[in-house]
Amino acid sequence: MDLDDALPTFIAESRELLQEMEHALLGVLTAHEPQHAVNAIFRAAHTIKGSAGLFALDEIVDFTHVLESVLDRVRDGTVTLDERLVALLLGCSDHIGMQVEAVASGIRDPGTADRAVPLLAQLQRHLGDDGAAPAAAAPAPARPAPAPTLASFAPGECGAGHWHLSLRFGPDVLRNGMDPVSFLRYLGRLGRVTAVALVPGSVPALQALDPERCYLGLELALDSDADQDAIEGTFEFVREDCAIHILPPHSPLADYRSLVAMRPEPAAVLGALLVRCGSLDPAALATVLTDADAPPMPAAPPEPVEGTPPRQRAQEAKAAEGASIRVDADKLDRLINLVGELVTASASAGLVARSVRNVALQECQATLATLVDEVRDSALQLRMVKIGTSFTRFRRMVHDVAREIGKDIALVVSGEDTELDKTVIEKIGDPLTHLVRNAMDHGIEPAAQRLARDKPAQGTVTLNAYHDSGHIVIEVGDDGGGLDRERILAKALERGLVEPGRPLSDSETYALVFEPGFSTAEQVTNLSGRGVGMDVVKRNITALRGSIAIASTPGRGTTVTVRLPLTLALINGFQVGVGSSVFVVPLDMVDECIEFRDDGSRDYLDLRGKVLPFIRLRALFDIGGSPPPRQNIVIVRHAGQQVGLVVDTLFGESQTVIKPLSRLFAQARGISGTSIRGNGDVALILDIPALVASRESGSRPLVQGSPLLV
């Protein structure tokens, strides 16, 4: 395979491995079993180094090799992992990420090598005074073990009192960047390797030797008090590529007999290696070799190490690999656009079928419409990704920002499995970043102030996501001091944002922080305080057809709630008519429809004992003509609030392809987009959150006489 064709795969996998490394580093100090996290960090660095070597990316290989050496010291307990070392390793992860991105862009940054110098210097301090990485210890030589004595063996038909390991490294071990010697060296931290015997005949003649293929087979003896799980864990990184068989101390001869039978080498050759390692005495070996040719015993063989059958593991890995493929995002976007056109064409075909009143044609069109629905749902599902991928990066940001501002802050994340359109996730990243930074800088108090308020010294920032009525709700909260309502009002009066004496609810008061340039911070910091950011947050969320609200309790904390549509491409809509204009209401926001006779005397009605305010769309959009005697009210719900929309006609449900408004009409409030109907006419998609908010505040969301309504 051409390596240039494989380079994009290396870049994508390296990015994923770096994310895994960062995630493990951020949780290693608080992990219940930190050794698993350390192994994950080591595995990520080791895999990146091995893969980079295939592409001759020497800068990545050299830097990662030093990092890997330090991680190896952490694994064997020589170097203690603390907060300072975690910060260093995070910096190293960032540097490798920069190197990978330089490879992806094809532009070499001469400053990359200079940025590596201080990181390498700090890494070398953990590798000894000589400043060089320790050389890999060679395995014990393949020499005959001391002659076993009778005391070495348990009475009866049993082997020696040490662990016996039978290893056959797979042919792809070296290609995958693994060093067999490192695994033998790692066994040394569990005990003492008393003997190593090389399996003869495993290496071919020089002319047939493949330098990238591993031919190594070993039999070795390990004197250790460790349990079998710990010994098996040594080979965690090569389980899928190797055949590993472990026999505990004093194993019965039947287990050795099974070992001899399962290995491809001649029984006499393998038996000699067992004696050389001191695992069997000559008398026991004679019994094993005599019984090896006998019919198999009914007793079950010893349970093998997980991952021992390499062929089965390879098949499972291949099946798992075939279960998913990588697809360019541009191809998905193109597919969604084509599905949108297909939805419009299907609607047009439906109109034609109904107009000609051909039963057969109508049945065919109904079948087509059903298939289009399924294709649409499947296509949209392809772009749905878990929001946890976006939440993960905030762990690193909270870690770094907390150190910068000198606060002890923990991040609590929930709802990571909530799915959202990939496009929405990409565009929501910056607004969420600003909200989290604000919570840390303004929301969380200093430790001394928290202790004085009987709070724990460590502050908490929470990220939560969940689905609600066809939307995704993202909550960014903190347990800080909360917003100062009176201070916000005073600042708003000072800037002329509110009229003196006008009563404002809590939600209206807190919404003032989204005004451009609004800030109550006493000091300007690197994070906030300049009065910019929150207005941009609201503008970006509004551009995504979303809404944002703030709830705060003095002394208890603040929660910012962001509501977003699940997708920006297609929705199920409910079409209504006012005069000659057609509007689309997102179907997931529609509660019910009722008949209405308008006497013009009020803007509310009694809905089963509850007051329901309503909006006359004809008056709101300044649509000419007289309303019919009998109108309808579409009752919609948003964020727990119900509002009625007075319309002339109900057209029913429809699949709606969302088209954005042009720049000319981008400022039109109350309209979130447009859609092309089956007959070619334009329908306007109503912005229900804006309409509900305008009804609550009593303001008019649109400039009357909009040229869209013709």
Reported as a single tens digit per residue, the pLDDT across 53-78 is: 778 788 898 899 899 889 988 988 88
Structure tokens at 182: 């490192």
**705 has a pLDDT exceeding 60:** no
SS3 612: strand
pLDDT exceeds cutoff 60 at 700: no
CATH classification number, 385-565, choose in 3.90.850.10, 3.40.50.1220, 3.30.565.10, 3.40.50.300 = 3.30.565.10
**What mean pLDDT is predicted for residues 322-337?**
75
Look up the CATH number of domain 3-125: 1.20.120.160
Q: What is the pLDDT of residue 687?
A: 85
Q: Which CATH number fits domain 150-319: 3.30.70.260, 3.90.850.10, 3.30.565.10, 3.40.50.20?
A: 3.30.70.260
Q: Percentage of the chain surpassing pLDDT 90?
A: 19
For residue range 531-544, list pLDDT tens digits in order.
446 888 888 888 78
> What is the per-residue pLDDT for 528?
53
What mean pLDDT is predicted for residues 643-653? 92
List helix spans (H) across 28-125: 34-54, 58-75, 83-105, 111-125
pLDDT at 150: 37
| pLDDT score at 657 | 76
Proportion of the chain above pLDDT 70, given as a percent: 85
Contact (CB, 8 A) for 546 and 525: no
pLDDT in the model for residue 500: 83
* Digit-coded pLDDT (tens) for 209-261: 888 888 888 899 999 888 888 888 888 778 778 889 999 998 888 888 888 88
Work out the angle at residue 27's Cα, subtended by the Cα atoms of residues 22 and 32, and round it to the nearest 5 degrees: 145
pLDDT of residue 137: 37
Averaged pLDDT for residues 606-610: 89
Q: Which residues contact 165 (CB under 8 A, 6 or more apart)?
A: 187, 218, 219, 220, 221, 222, 231, 244, 245, 246, 247
- Report pLDDT for 615: 92
Question: How many angstroms separate the Cα of 128 from the Cα of each of 319, 599, 609?
Answer: 45, 89, 80
Question: pLDDT tier at 691 (50, 70, 90 boundaries)?
Answer: confident
Of 87, 60, 59, 89, nearest to 72 by C-alpha is 89
Alpha-carbon distances of 85 from 90, 125, 128, rounded to whole Å: 9, 11, 15
687 close to 545: Cβ distance less than 8 angstroms: yes
Alpha helices in 214-358 (DSSP H): 228-233, 253-262, 267-276, 282-292, 310-322, 329-356
What confidence score (pLDDT) does residue 309 get?
Answer: 42
Q: Give the separation between CA 166 and CA 219, rounded to whole angstroms.
A: 5
Mean predicted confidence (pLDDT) in 579-604: 87
Higher pLDDT, 597 or 94: 94
Average pLDDT over residues 451-468: 91
Structure token digits, residue 14: 């390296």
Q: How confident is the model at residue 130 (pLDDT cuts 50, 70, 90)?
A: very low
Residue 578 has pLDDT above 90, yes or no: yes
pLDDT at 189 over 60: yes
73: nearest Cα among 31, 126, 124:
126
Select the more confidently predicted residue: 132 or 484: 484
Banded pLDDT at 365 (limits 50, 70, 90): confident
pLDDT reported for residue 266: 84
Q: Fold identical between 3-125 and 385-565? A: no
What pLDDT does 70 receive?
92
Phi, psi values for residue 115, rounded to 5°: -70, -20
| Helices (H) then strands (E): counts for the chain | 21, 21
576 has a pLDDT exceeding 90: yes
- Cβ atoms of residues 51 and 10 within 8 Å: yes
Q: Where do the domains of the chain lie? A: 3-125, 150-319, 329-383, 385-565, 570-697
CB count within 10 Å of CB 297 equals 12
CATH number belonging to domain 570-697: 2.40.50.180
Most confident of 151-165, 622-636, 656-670: 622-636
What is the mean pLDDT of the segment spanning 338-356?
A: 84
What number is the average pLDDT over the span 640-652? 90
